[in-house]
Structure 1
């Protein structure tokens, strides 16, 4: 009996690729996910060792803003637990505590910045509010923000705010969002963070962030250690050339394909879209170093994460206190910290030994949390060659050109981090969009499709 179900190849087993496969399978497609690495998930990864659950990549979700993520988690039977509302910013030897759920009240009462700078933040609030209500802060369709994507955060601060606001507010936010300092990151990223993420509450998946990856892998077929060499679209199908887990050359023909891999990989394997992808590759990715530190006692701070300004520490950009984020991340009575390095420092130290990286990381940890000296009982180092798509000023231009150059009737669609603002929620939204576009094209074969709009966050 002839199989009349349409087939799709998904190149990349990260969250966007797995979501595409899951949604297409729901719509009656046969799907196959090709993942070059030995594990699926991309930047969503949880390491379970020595009683610790270390979220080595994406670590938290926003309980209200991440609606695509929350809906999928509920659909898969996963539970997201809220985290405490506290976060901190390190300044002059002390972590200054603030509250995510009371940004105005805690911002007015904090001694993080001076009264004059607090008054000046009214200009920042006005500019962010105007951009948000003007429809410019859409994390899925990030290129909508092109009109304000004109300067770095530091240039904006020097023009409209104060150096103190840049040092202890803007720069720390940039280091969390892009693991890069404010002189490298476009103002649009800052505005998006403040307009969409700052007010509210964070949470995390029970059992580790990779539980969503595992739940999707349990539902769709995934071939690990299976790199793809080329993707070619023809009149009747898409040919995918790949190597299987044993290294044998293979090929297959599918009705459609979703490319959910980093831009340099997509450019190298998909000749038809090379001209569109090259400008995105030229912008590049940040490199990342993540260090997990387990301790036999928790830190004294109740903060879920601590932002570290570049003027305080050029290497360490942020510290997530995972044992505060969710009690299941560390054994009872222990602490677990996830440390993210700034991208230039990460690039400089990328090839150093794990021991050297841990030693440098602990220098920062002990300075900020001296009570943890002599308590470390676990460490883990993770390197990310393609950590986050870099978002300097003007990055929306190549992204908009890429989106405009795609054909909705094409058998090859894209669902990847370089298309918009990176994040778990955006990955799921883009994966859903790619699946919907392909399925609409199948149902209306030969008719150009209007862009599938998911809107919002």
Structure 2
């Protein structure tokens, strides 16, 4: 390939866009990434910033050992030397105590006090339903789950006659934490998906630089235009026209052989008007949570050993979870320190979005004090910084997997414009986004090579 036929523009420097760009560049294409943020925030929800010596993850925090596609991407990008194997202990707060589960040992998980305290009949029912559902899951496309998608987590609990404790301590936390959604809103399949993600994880991995090591490492090997806001994409028979702006510069109008759009789905209709009505409706109807969370820097680690401490709604109506970054690996934080991310529930975040930072911190500390956990947050805090992420995670509601399947059927194989990101066909996980970027890059490579060979 030579000349214009090998040019591809990728819109969006999140992990999906960067993955697609990296693979396309490896395939021989001339790739340019347009990212509307500054370089510090490359990776979007997978970015990491430095504050007072701590590497703080802006959005995503935990990387699971089951993310095989992501790990292979890091290897191929020459970043594997940064990876550290991390722990596998997750905790759930119940009755004034932390009940811990090891995701790396299924026998230990089955023997955990949390599961043993739940009705055995409930566990058998949930296990049977989960076993049937997990075969329907895919990292980048959840279309196969459509036939089983017809009820919320709450409705599933009622239909199966489960005990309230099973709902509050087993099912609800798996949508409240990962998706920041309420169990009355979220599809029951969402709970099963995230439950499957946890039990299949075999632990976690981390790096001294946080989760942002991967998007930063990829961006360092790619031409990235920062503060570049794409405003329109128009597909023609043999090329694509992309218009973008940057403050203080004339409008940029460029052509390429193809374009990958890796932005949150609700932005797509305003960017790419060649969608049909059904596609536009699906994209605009996708619901997102908001996240308000706080990074607490400590002058010592916590006594609590969990990586993730989930707080069921019945125990506290505002706080959803704590991520204890220092419990992943000693290299994750400066020696002798601790780093805790306190996450509010999605509903609280939406209702208190405009609350000033000082009040947000006070709410988090008051809630922590009420629970009686992590006393180090008050006694040994050296830093508290509030982060707000919107849109944060997709909330898959009942019936949405059927909508995913319908949308997936509209995606043509002969188009020069492709969409990348876990939010389009799956979930807002980093691995879903990596898998989507890989899939789109492979599809587009095959299409462009075929288009070139078919030329007279």
Normalised to the residue count of structure 1, the TM-score between the two structures is 0.92
2:302 is the counterpart of 1:296? no
8 Å contact 1:289–1:341 — kept in the other structure? yes
2:404 is the counterpart of 1:402? no
Unaligned stretches of 5+ in structure 2?
Answer: none
Q: Which residue of 1 aligns with 2:192?
A: 191
Q: C-alpha separation between the residues in 2 aligned to 1:115 and 1:77?
A: 46
Q: Which residue of 2 aligns with 1:142?
A: 142
SS at match of 1:392: coil
8 Å contact 2:265–2:286 — kept in the other structure? no
Q: Which residue of 2 aligns with 1:383?
A: 388
Map 1:309-328 → 2, pairs under 5 A: 309-328=312-331
2:247 is the counterpart of 1:241? no
Quote how far apart the aligned CAs of 1:167 are: 0.5
Q: Which residue of 2 aligns with 1:344?
A: 347
Q: C-alpha separation between the residues in 2 aligned to 1:378 and 1:90?
A: 25
2:421 is the counterpart of 1:413? no
8 Å contact 1:230–1:270 — kept in the other structure? yes
Q: C-alpha separation between the residues in 2 aligned to 1:432 and 1:393?
A: 28
Quote how far apart the aligned CAs of 1:46 are: 1.2
SS at match of 1:373: helix
Q: C-alpha separation between the residues in 2 aligned to 1:120 and 1:353?
A: 43
Quote how far apart the aligned CAs of 1:272 are: 0.5
2:426 is the counterpart of 1:424? no
Q: C-alpha separation between the residues in 2 aligned to 1:392 and 1:197?
A: 20
Q: C-alpha separation between the residues in 2 aligned to 1:243 and 1:52?
A: 33
2:48 is the counterpart of 1:43? no
SS at match of 2:124: helix
2:95 is the counterpart of 1:95? no
Quote how far apart the aligned CAs of 1:81 are: 1.7
Q: Which residue of 1 aligns with 2:268?
A: 266
8 Å contact 1:389–1:418 — kept in the other structure? no
Q: Which residue of 2 aligns with 1:10?
A: 10
SS at match of 2:136: coil
Quote how far apart the aligned CAs of 1:8 are: 0.7
Quote how far apart the aligned CAs of 1:302 are: 0.7
Q: C-alpha separation between the residues in 2 aligned to 1:297 and 1:252?
A: 52
**244, 253, 256: which one aligns with 1:254:** 256
Q: C-alpha separation between the residues in 2 aligned to 1:138 and 1:423?
A: 12
2:445 is the counterpart of 1:439? yes
Residues 1:168 and 1:255: Cα distance change in structure 2 (over 3 Å)? same
Residues 1:4 and 1:282: Cα distance change in structure 2 (over 3 Å)? closer
Map 1:176-187 → 2, pairs under 5 A: 176-187=177-188
Map 1:10-159 → 2, pairs under 5 A: 10-38=10-38, 39-63=41-65, 65-78=66-79, 79-110=82-113, 112=114, 115=117, 117-132=119-134, 135-159=135-159
SS at match of 2:301: coil
SS at match of 1:293: strand
SS at match of 1:239: strand
RMSD: 1.9
The Cα offsets for residues 206-257 of structure 1, whole Å up to 9 and x where unpaired, read as 4211111111111111111111110000112111111024353221111100
Quote how far apart the aligned CAs of 1:343 are: 1.2
8 Å contact 1:268–1:274 — kept in the other structure? no
Q: C-alpha separation between the residues in 2 aligned to 1:223 and 1:329?
A: 30
Unaligned stretches of 5+ in structure 1?
Answer: 449-457
8 Å contact 2:10–2:262 — kept in the other structure? yes
Residues 1:67 and 1:282: Cα distance change in structure 2 (over 3 Å)? same
Quote how far apart the aligned CAs of 1:69 are: 0.4
Quote how far apart the aligned CAs of 1:401 are: 1.9
Normalised to the residue count of structure 2, the TM-score between the two structures is 0.92
Quote how far apart the aligned CAs of 1:25 are: 0.8
Residues 1:247 and 1:402: Cα distance change in structure 2 (over 3 Å)? farther
The Cα offsets for residues 21-44 of structure 1, whole Å up to 9 and x where unpaired, read as 111111111111111112321101
Quote how far apart the aligned CAs of 1:12 are: 0.5
8 Å contact 1:10–1:32 — kept in the other structure? yes
Moved more, 8-17 or 186-195: 186-195
Q: Number of aligned pairs?
A: 443
8 Å contact 2:137–2:193 — kept in the other structure? yes
Residues 1:168 and 1:447: Cα distance change in structure 2 (over 3 Å)? farther
Q: C-alpha separation between the residues in 2 aligned to 1:245 and 1:33?
A: 17
Q: C-alpha separation between the residues in 2 aligned to 1:212 and 1:109?
A: 34
Quote how far apart the aligned CAs of 1:61 are: 1.6
Q: Which residue of 2 aligns with 1:455?
A: none
